[in-house]
């Protein structure tokens, strides 16, 4: 069994207006007084209206779901005591008249000094899945093998269609905002660990990025843990959708490890097709075609079932096939979180949207 862990980012918002509210320190102190979250599980983010949770290392999807639900409830209680709510959305649907203050750490303050407008607009929230790998060399091989599937994962997770009170026309506006950093998007192909390290070192030496953490590829090796970190996902409305995506990511990593050991030929994903596939997935979500790992267009549902077939042996080995496939079927029936945001706004206006985004993650 391969270990995994999940990080989720959320916005703190005013319950009436949905405007991001910079009360993260107050919320963190309130969480620290309760019995349902450890200090290391709750982390600051770039802006003071954002907060992040991190699960412990998990062996099963049930563990992942239990920890995420526990942490979401703890944060919701603390936020309520501070007069705000926790919103599980990939992008702030509305923004206030003034920028949200930056969290005053040296790293974040330096980023604000170098890219003020980008930082002001980082009211976006992702979900990161860490999956254990045997060693960094295998981790790089995994990156090479999963990169063609990242657009499909992105389309499944899309949860950020609204920005500045308007529909952006994109299912994942977060992807577009985040893609403006100098090192972002799909990871390139690497000729082994030495090439991965030397290219990261060259980026830092260039001075364009301040540290390796600013290599914002959608999948990368973690510098803190012996894991591959998949970062292309919008944060999810529901905990069970987050669990579904975590299971699929682990299945992809396990399949990549098995293929690497078996010497299966590596698919050739041209960088321009990888970029186009990423943009296309962010634009349409599952409402249209997706580009498969070779750059060929498929209907969204066909792409999802192709992904499931590809990782079925790994899902079976982990005991995850039944739960993951059932959740994929539901996703195709009810739509992505972006679809649900649009429906809530159209049917019930801003109050309905706020209720959807701040519902802790158990229902729509």
Candidate from 26-30, 163-167, 213-217 with smallest mean pLDDT? 26-30
Phi, psi torsion values for 20, nearest 5 degrees: -55, 135
Q: What percent of the chain has pLDDT over 90?
A: 92
The whole-angstrom separation of Cα 250 and Cα 236 is 17
Per-residue pLDDT at 40: 79
- Give the pLDDT mean for 162-184: 97
Neighbour-count burial of 268, counting CB atoms closer than 10 A to its CB (0-12 exposed, 13-18 middle, 19+ buried): exposed
Q: What percent of the chain has pLDDT over 70?
A: 97
Which of 21, 172, 173 lies closest to 86, judged by CA? 21
Regarding the domain delimited by 4-357, which CATH topology (the fold level of the hierarchy) does it fall under?
Answer: Creatine Kinase; Chain A, domain 2 (3.30.590)
Q: Is the pLDDT of residue 220 over 90?
A: yes
Copy the structure tokens of residue 267: 């698919």
The whole-angstrom separation of Cα 246 and Cα 248 is 5
pTM for the model stands at: 0.96
| Three-class SS state of 297 | strand
The whole-angstrom separation of Cα 364 and Cα 360 is 10
Instruction: For 228-278, write each residue's pLDDT tens digit.
Output: 999 999 999 999 999 999 999 999 999 999 999 999 999 888 899 999 999
Candidate from 32-46, 48-62, 135-149, 273-287 with smallest mean pLDDT? 32-46
Per-residue pLDDT at 84: 96
Per-residue pLDDT at 268: 83
- The mean pLDDT of the chain is 95
Copy the structure tokens of residue 298: 């498929």
Per-residue pLDDT at 361: 57
The whole-angstrom separation of Cα 170 and Cα 177 is 11
> Terminus-to-terminus CA distance in the chain, angstroms?
32
CA distances from 41 to 6, 54, 71, 82 (A): 11, 5, 8, 19
Per-residue pLDDT at 269: 84
Q: Is the pLDDT of residue 36 over 80?
A: no
Instruction: For 312-355, write each residue's pLDDT tens digit.
Output: 999 999 999 999 999 999 999 999 999 999 999 999 999 999 99
Number of residues that make up the chain: 364
Whose tokens are 């649900």? That residue is 340
Per-residue pLDDT at 31: 85
Q: How many CA atoms lie within 13 A of 194 on its CB side?
A: 0
Query: Which residue ranges make up each domain of the chain?
Result: 4-357
Which of 243, 251, 214, 218 lies closest to 151, judged by CA? 218
Q: Is the pLDDT of residue 364 over 80?
A: no
Per-residue pLDDT at 275: 95
Copy the structure tokens of residue 18: 């949905």
Cα angle: 333, vertex 307, 155; to 5 degrees = 55
- Give the pLDDT mean for 67-90: 96
Per-residue pLDDT at 33: 67
């Amino acid at each position: 069994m391969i270990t995994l862990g999940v990080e989720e980012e959320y916005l703190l918002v005013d319950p009436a207006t949905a405007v991001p509210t910079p009360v993260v320190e107050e919320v963190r102190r309130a969480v620290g007084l309760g019995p349902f979250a450890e200090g290391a599980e709750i982390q600051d983010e770039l802006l003071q209206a954002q907060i992040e949770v991190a699960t412990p290392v998990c062996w099963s999807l049930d563990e992942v779901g239990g920890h995420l639900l526990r942490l979401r409830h703890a944060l919701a209680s603390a936020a309520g005591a501070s007069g705000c709510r926790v919103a599980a959305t990939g992008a702030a649907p509305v923004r206030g008249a003034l920028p949200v203050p930056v969290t005053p750490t040296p790293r974040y303050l330096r980023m604000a000094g170098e890219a003020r407008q980008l930082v002001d607009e980082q009211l976006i929230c992702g979900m990161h899945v860490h999956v254990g790998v045997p060693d960094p060399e295998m981790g790089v091989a995994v990156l090479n093998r999963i990169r063609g599937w990242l657009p499909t994962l992105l389309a499944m997770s899309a949860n950020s269609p609204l920005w500045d009170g308007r529909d952006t026309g994109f299912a994942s506006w977060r992807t577009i905002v985040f893609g403006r950093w100098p090192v972002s998007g799909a990871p390139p192909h690497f000729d082994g660990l030495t090439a991965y390290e030397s290219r990261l070192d060259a980026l830092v030496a260039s001075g364009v990025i301040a540290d390796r953490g600013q290599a914002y590829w959608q999948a990368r090796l973690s510098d803190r843990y012996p894991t591959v970190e998949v970062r292309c996902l919008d944060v999810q409305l529901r905990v069970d959708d987050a669990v579904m995506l975590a299971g699929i990511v682990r299945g992809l990593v396990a399949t990549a490890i098995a293929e690497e050991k078996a010497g299966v030929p590596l698919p050739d994903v041209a960088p321009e097709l990888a970029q186009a596939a990423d943009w296309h997935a962010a634009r349409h979500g599952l409402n249209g075609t997706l580009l498969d790992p070779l750059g060929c267009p498929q209907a969204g549902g066909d792409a999802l079932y192709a992904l499931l077939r590809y990782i079925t042996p790994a899902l079976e080995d982990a005991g995850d096939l039944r739960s993951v496939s059932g959740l994929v079927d539901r996703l195709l029936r009810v739509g992505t979180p972006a679809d649900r945001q649009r429906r809530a706004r159209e049917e019930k206006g801003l109050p309905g949207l706020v209720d959807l985004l701040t519902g802790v993650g158990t229902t729509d």
